[in-house]
Amino acid sequence: MNDQEFTNSVKIELANILNYWTKNSIDHQYGGFVGRIDHYNKVVEKSSKGIILNSRILWTFSSASNHYKNDNYLTEVNRAYNYLRDYFQDDTNGGVFWEANHLGEPLHKRKQTYAQAFTIYALSEYYKYSKNEEALSWAFELFEILEAKTKDITLGGYIEAFDKDWAPINDMRLSDKDLNAPKTMNTHLHILEAYTTLFEVNNNPKVRDALKGLIDLFLEKFVSENGHFKLFFSKDWKNLSQEASFGHDIETAWLLIHAARVLNDTNYIKKTEALSIKIADTFLKEALDKDFGVLNAINLQTNEIDYDKHWWPQAEAVVGLLYVWQITSVEKYLTTAKQIWNFICNKIIDDTKGEWFFRVNREGIPYPDENKIGPWKCPYHNSRTCIEIIKQLHLYTETITPKSNASLKIN
């Protein structure tokens, strides 16, 4: 795949993703968006509706509107915002609920820190597009709740989850697949991206300080010497797992750089760029299969590898490698990003029914028991990847020097 083919393929796929969601995700019967569509593109009737899916839908259509600089997705954006505001907002205790039933009635009222972060992320991106002051006010209110209710003032970081009234709970897991740990890298990562976008739109010093604190945690607590990020922690920062997630590694690498750039802090930019190169080099050595699909995870103690290839690590890998290519001008990062994109086109995109398969096995065969739309299957990773690819490629050609050996040319 040459440079122009790469660019054109990404632009077409972004349009395809957005088209799928406008045509398939709207819940015309109960309002908002459907809670689940199966592998075969059939709506699973009366499925519950999760805050992660719904906040990511708002983020996606808002981000697409900002990218295209038009109102083509105004209906979807407004529908997503109104549904979040009307059905997920907890007017009694603050924050957002975890899950509602198909009618929009609260089903699980627990307060997951991860969910509050994604709502801030979505509202901030929506504000960029709409300039809706109500949305910005709500985003900042959620920021203040996270700082007041979830932040560990003594030991640093943010606690994973709480009961509906912000009381402590024993089971803090984000999903059944996770360890029950009070602090996780994943949740901190999504607080980081949420605060990054919130700072972009309000330039508040409290948000700036909190964002700097998060970058410090990644530089001091989460990163390990072996070029991975540690995932699960006790409250006092003892590492509870030997697993490394390849997708989280490379996603974190570029999100840290983006946060440092939004802060416009030279010291953080230098540190995060240096770290991202280390992470990317480990990623190239360990994370790729022979077909350039991104493997899911590895147990660093036993070296056991999860060979499944989920949709979202493929997406984040392309962006992460492009960021490092932009920093270094080393061609291998661009070449590998293209090879992963080629794998996405051949094995992850469903050319028949649309959208991306949730995951495929090592032979590239999709799992038919996974969703096309579901509590975790959303348009955020793949649409964001397409937007970021286009943005980063244009950014690089705009700043290229005559002496650079980079090959990319974009019309």
Its sign, for the CA torsion 221, 265, 128, 312, is negative
Give the angle subtended at the CA of 217 by the CAs of 216 and 221, to the nearest 5°: 125
- For residues 169 and 139, give the distance between their C-alpha atoms in angstroms, rounded to a whole number: 25
pLDDT tens-digit series, residues 242-288? 999 999 999 999 999 999 999 999 999 999 999 999 999 999 999 99
Task: Give me 263's structure tokens.
Answer: 């802060």
DSSP string computed for 230-295? --EE-TT--B---EEEHHHHHHHHHHHHHHHHHHT-HHHHHHHHHHHHHHHHHHHHHSB-TTSPBP
Q: Where are the beta strands (DSSP E) in 93-217?
A: 99-100, 106-108, 111-112, 161-162, 183-184
pLDDT tens-digit series, residues 275-333? 999 999 999 999 999 999 999 999 999 999 999 999 999 999 999 999 999 999 999 99
- For residues 407 and 156, give the distance between their C-alpha atoms in angstroms, rounded to a whole number: 44
Check: CB of residue 396 under 8 Å from CB of residue 326: yes
DSSP string computed for 29-52? TTSSB-S-EETTS-B-TT--EEHH
- For residues 26 and 34, give the distance between their C-alpha atoms in angstroms, rounded to a whole number: 6
- For residues 285 and 173, give the distance between their C-alpha atoms in angstroms, rounded to a whole number: 31
Which pLDDT band holds residue 406 (cuts at 50, 70, 90)?
very low
For residue 400, pLDDT over 70 is answered with no
253 HSE (CA, 13 A, CB side): 32
Q: How far is CA 400 from the centre of its chain?
A: 28
Which pLDDT band holds residue 5 (cuts at 50, 70, 90)?
confident
Task: Give me 187's structure tokens.
Answer: 């949740």
Task: Give me 236's structure tokens.
Answer: 């006092």
Task: Give me 305's structure tokens.
Answer: 């590898």
Which pLDDT band holds residue 158 (cuts at 50, 70, 90)?
very high
Average pLDDT on 378-390 reads 97
Residue 74 CB neighbour total at 10 angstroms? 13
132 HSE (CA, 13 A, CB side): 19
Average pLDDT on 11-25 reads 98
What dihedral angle (degrees, nearest 10) is formed by the CA atoms of 87, 148, 111, 381? 80
Mapped onto helix, strand or coil, the DSSP state of residue 134 is helix
Residue that is written with structure tokens 């003032």 in the block: 153
Average pLDDT on 110-124 reads 98
* Type of residue at 114: Y
SS (H, E, C) 210-226: HHHHHHHHHHHHHECCC
The pLDDT value given to residue 399: 55
Task: Give me 2's structure tokens.
Answer: 């040459």
- For residues 150 and 41, give the distance between their C-alpha atoms in angstroms, rounded to a whole number: 38
For residue 403, pLDDT over 50 is answered with no
The pLDDT value given to residue 4: 80
pLDDT tens-digit series, residues 170-179? 999 999 889 9
Check: CB of residue 52 under 8 Å from CB of residue 118: yes
- For residues 109 and 104, give the distance between their C-alpha atoms in angstroms, rounded to a whole number: 12
Nearest C-alpha neighbor of 164 from the set 105, 96, 75: 96
For residue 404, pLDDT over 90 is answered with no
The pLDDT value given to residue 394: 80
What are the backbone angles phi and psi of residue 337, rounded to the nearest 5°? -60, -45
For residue 405, pLDDT over 50 is answered with no
